[in-house]
């Protein structure tokens, strides 16, 4: 459909409630909830999920059903603010935990909430401001060319108003069930969090975690991505670990300090994974990110060129409500002020050179991210590759300029953090503006909503990170923080040259082999990098999605708005919220008061039953037992 033929759902001449106190308060609450939940999920498994559709159905459930208001544009502002908070959190957890990891090793001091908030705020605001001038070029002029899959799906959900109440109930049911499961497993501790079956002949074990969020990630991602991750896990735990133990024996291999046989006798396969496999996995993930970036280079170059060309004539003022953006003069002043603050504020360890790098890389990757999510969707946007490329380049530049040691490394991480957040926020903003364009929203209100979501999430993300670090620490079994650990390795490797490069390059060439075979590199590399117990459960969730999709007769079986996806989104949010609450109990030292592991312990049987029960719940909400009614309904 051409731009001149397009008519939004709410006409430009019609004024309806949109940017209201209700929509802002609800959006802020969802930004905090989904931001904290996504931060927890990302630090556990290295993956995050979009909050746009869950936020949309929750807002519809409250505004349309409870408040008896028929206002689709209010619901749109709610999901705009809520998803902005989730995106900022997703960008922050990829990099900022590195500062905590260094502090734990005596390198520098732990960042305080103010420092984290400032870094996150600068990245969040720049991500929105960089995207605003691109709206006319990408959203309006390219309508019908750039599909923006998540933004379009969210608009469809909001337009399906009569389903708002039942859809919202599905999300809330997932939140409640996951909250109960998480509390039973990690609070009461009457069911083990991990079930494992040793395989003595290979000196390893097949294991799986019992948490609902992992099943949900697999269900949302689908069978293909889940299977790739599981394949990476099998490669690490059933090929590389047995090979190292078998051939290593009495060898002492860096970075280990004792023989491989002694390490295995003391810590089992986990010790081999910690000392060797994670470096191989890190090399594979880094190579995968760079490969995805290189493959996207033609698209990135044409994207940037087309977007910059489209800026010409995109700043003209219009009296139509649906074409009103924030004043471009304010955008320019805001960008300049933030870049100067990044340089001048002492809590942000970035020099003038670093601030210039942020301005240049930030606008480039914001432009690329905004257009690429329109073409391939947010889940295929190579944000991690952008962050890795930025971090490598920034670290080399800082080292060459003489900014080395702790200050140089923290500066590189700060630059990488801001760029990563910019790319994530720009992509989310473009998806939300696409939703608004279809619905007939006022762009400037959405842009203000994005800024509010960025501010709120920046204020809270510091507290979330400090809380989680105090409770369990990053890089531990509870919070593996895979991307942050990778970013740390890259920065230290460039600055100090102390990486076990042989292991890293083994991972690099494994990634190259996977790419040559025509397989998507990043999910396999992430599976290799993470413990097998995570990818096993994710695989179960993916298998459930495959089974339900095969069985379904609905044309919307692959939609992000189906019942299984909404229920799974609720499971992720519920587990994340209780994870934060349990962290508070751990910090306060009262977590032992609810620990019943010494009284009741169901063992492996309890874990298996729990996984089966969670699978049954997902299948129920995905439509098990209602295929006939769905088929009949689709014939209307």
Instruction: Please check the confidence at residue 162 and state whether its pLDDT lies above 60.
Output: no
pLDDT category of residue 630 using cuts at 50, 70 and 90? very low
Please say if the pLDDT value at position 591 is more than 50: yes
Side-chain-side CA neighbours of 484 within 13 Å: the count stands at 30
Check pLDDT > 50 for residue 1.
no
Please compute, for residue 439, the number of CA atoms within 13 A of its CA located in the half-sphere on the CB side.
34
Rounded to the nearest 10 degrees, how much is the dihedral formed by the CA atoms of 275, 281, 287, 291?
180
Kindly indicate the confidence band of residue 629, based on its pLDDT and cuts at 50, 70 and 90: very low
633 pLDDT more than 60: no
Query: Among the ranges 157-161, 313-317, 421-425, which has the highest mean pLDDT value?
Result: 421-425
Whole-number average pLDDT of the chain = 84
Q: Could you give the 3-state DSSP secondary structure of residue 118?
A: helix
Q: For residue 636, what pLDDT is reported?
A: 33
Q: Give dist(CA 139, CA 118) in Å, integer.
A: 30
599-626 pLDDT tens trace: 877 888 999 999 999 999 999 998 886 6
Residue tagged 């962050």 (tokens): 387
d(CA 484, CA 493): 14
Q: Which of the two residues, 2 and 374, has the higher pLDDT score?
A: 374
β-partners of residue 199 are 204
Is the pTM for the entire model greater than 0.85?
no
Q: Tokens for 546?
A: 């495959």
Do the beta carbons of residue 55 and residue 13 sit within 8 Å? no
Instruction: Output DSSP code: residue 10.
Output: S
Burial of 250 (0-12, 13-18, 19+ CB in 10 A): exposed
Report whether 521 contacts 212 (CB < 8 A): no
- Reading the block at residue 69, the tokens are 């208001």
């Amino acid at each position: 459909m051409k731009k001149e033929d397009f008519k939004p759902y709410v006409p430009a001449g019609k004024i309806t409630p949109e940017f209201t106190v209700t929509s802002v308060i609800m959006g802020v609450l969802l930004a905090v909830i989904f931001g904290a939940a996504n931060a927890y999920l990302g630090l556990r498994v290295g993956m995050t999920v979009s909050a746009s559709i869950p936020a949309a159905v929750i807002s519809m459930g409250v505004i349309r059903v409870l408040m008896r208001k028929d206002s689709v544009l209010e619901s749109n502002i709610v999901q705009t603010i809520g998803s902005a908070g989730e995106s900022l959190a997703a960008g922050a957890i990829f990099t900022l935990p590195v500062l905590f990891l260094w502090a734990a090793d005596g390198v520098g001091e732990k960042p305080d909430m103010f420092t984290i908030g400032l870094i996150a705020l600068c990245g969040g605001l720049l991500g929105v401001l960089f995207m605003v001038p691109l709206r006319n070029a990408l959203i309006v002029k390219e309508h019908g060319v750039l599909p923006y899959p998540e933004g379009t799906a969210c608009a469809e959900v909001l337009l399906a108003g009569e389903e708002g109440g039942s859809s919202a109930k599905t999300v809330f049911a997932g939140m409640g069930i996951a909250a109960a499961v998480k509390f039973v497993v990690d609070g009461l501790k009457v069911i083990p969090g991990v079930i494992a079956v040793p395989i003595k002949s290979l000196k390893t074990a097949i294991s799986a975690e019992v948490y609902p969020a992992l099943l949900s990630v697999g269900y949302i991602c689908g069978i293909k991505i889940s299977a790739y991750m599981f394949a990476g896990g099998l490669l690490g735990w059933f090929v590389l670990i047995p090979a190292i133990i078998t051939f290593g024996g009495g060898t002492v291999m860096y970075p280990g300090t004792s023989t491989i046989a002694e390490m295995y006798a003391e810590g089992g396969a986990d010790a081999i994974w910690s000392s060797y496999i994670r470096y191989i996995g890190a090399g594979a993930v880094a190579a995968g990110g760079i490969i995805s970036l290189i493959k996207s280079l033609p698209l990135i170059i044409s994207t940037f060129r087309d977007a910059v060309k489209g800026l010409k004539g995109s700043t003209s003022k219009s009296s139509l409500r649906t074409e009103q953006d924030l004043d471009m003069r304010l955008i320019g002043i805001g960008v300049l002020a933030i870049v100067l603050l990044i340089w001048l504020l002492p809590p942000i360890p970035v020099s003038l050179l670093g601030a210039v790098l942020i301005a240049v890389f930030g606008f480039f990757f914001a432009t690329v991210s905004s257009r690429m999510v329109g073409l391939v969707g947010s889940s295929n946007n190579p944000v991690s590759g952008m962050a890795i490329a930025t971090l490598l380049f920034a670290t080399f530049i800082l080292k060459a300029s003489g900014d080395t040691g702790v200050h140089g490394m923290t500066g590189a991480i700060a630059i990488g953090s801001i760029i990563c957040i910019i790319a994530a926020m720009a992509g989310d903003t473009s998806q939300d503006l696409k939703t608004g364009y279809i619905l007939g929203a006022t762009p400037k209100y959405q842009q203000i909503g994005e800024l509010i979501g960025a501010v709120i999430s920046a204020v809270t993300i510091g507290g979330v990170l400090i809380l989680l670090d105090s409770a369990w620490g990053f890089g531990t079994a509870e919070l593996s923080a895979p991307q942050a650990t990778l970013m740390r390795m890259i920065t230290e490797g460039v600055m100090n040259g102390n990486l076990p490069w042989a292991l890293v390059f083994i991972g690099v060439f494994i990634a190259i082999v996977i790419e040559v075979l025509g397989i998507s590199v990043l999910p396999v590399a992430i599976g290799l990098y993470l413990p097998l117990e995570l990818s096993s459960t994710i695989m179960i969730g993916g298998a459930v999605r495959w089974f339900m999709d095969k069985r379904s007769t609905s044309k919307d079986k692959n939609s992000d708005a189906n019942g299984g996806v909404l229920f799974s989104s609720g499971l992720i949010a519920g587990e994340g919220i209780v994870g934060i609450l349990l962290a508070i109990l751990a910090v306060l030292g009262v977590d032992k008061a609810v620990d019943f592991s010494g009284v009741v312990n169901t063992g492996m049987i309890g874990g298996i039953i729990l996984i089966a029960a969670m699978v049954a719940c997902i299948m129920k909400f995905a439509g098990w037992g209602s295929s006939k009614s769905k088929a009949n309904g689709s014939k209307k």
